Amino acid sequence: MSRKKGKLYVITGPSGTGKGSICKEILKDIENEFSVSMTTREAREGEIHGKDYFFVTEEEFLDNIEKGNFLEHARVFGNLYGTPKDMVIKQLERGRNVILDIDVQGALQVKKAMPEAIMIFLLPPSLGELRKRLEGRGTDKADVIEKRLSGALSEIKLIGEYDYYVINDDIDTAISSVKSIMTAEECRVPDKVRDIIKKYEQEEKGE
């Protein structure tokens, strides 16, 4: 029997909805692997090349863009960040699930490149609660928080592009919902099976 292919899970949501904490928990399962991003920013102390990021020069990064080597990439505060396609594909073929913790715009790029990706959108219980969380982190100034909040609303309007949504009210419930989604996806009758059968049915009906 051929080895089962892994599945690509894209976990996204507005800034402050808890993508990081949820992904960290999901990655405790050895079936799941994190996708290591490539970046042009300098390594911080303790960061390991190939584990935290692949640290490359601007030239190398641009060369990779040109070769179409990224599932998605973006420039943030002057630095380039991207998800290397070949790494993800290799992991999937080894039967591992790949988890992408990624912003909403990047997530939609990934979906275009790999439509089979399972798209999960994390939502805050409310914009008011999101504001509280962003203020509580104490890392952003008031104007940045306002920007993040209005960004959140535009992002939430893209929810129709996603397969699942999880409201992160209680973190444990949210983690358990994401795990349930992954279990359910393992139980899905593959679309391929249905496509094959549909082909014969249409033939029989003379369509």
Both tokens assigned to 126: 């409310």
Output 94 or 199, the one with its CB closest to a second copy.
Answer: 199
Asked if residue 7 lies in contact with residue 185, where contact means CB atoms within 8 angstroms, the answer is: yes
Minimum distance from residue 186 beta carbon to a second copy (Å): 8
86: Cβ contacts below 8 Å, ≥ 6 apart: 69
Minimum distance from residue 174 beta carbon to a second copy (Å): 10
Q: How many CB atoms lie within 10 A of CB 58?
A: 10
Asked if residue 13 lies in contact with residue 125, where contact means CB atoms within 8 angstroms, the answer is: no
Output 59 or 207, the one with its CB closest to a second copy.
Answer: 207
Alpha-carbon distance of 68 to 103, in angstroms, equals: 20
Output 29 or 186, the one with its CB closest to a second copy.
Answer: 186
Q: Is 146 left (phi over 0), alpha (psi -120 to 50) or beta?
A: alpha
Minimum distance from residue 167 beta carbon to a second copy (Å): 9
Output 129 or 163, the one with its CB closest to a second copy.
Answer: 163
Minimum distance from residue 165 beta carbon to a second copy (Å): 6
Residues that bind a second copy (CB under 8 A): 120-121, 159-166, 176-177, 179-181, 183-189, 193-194, 196-197
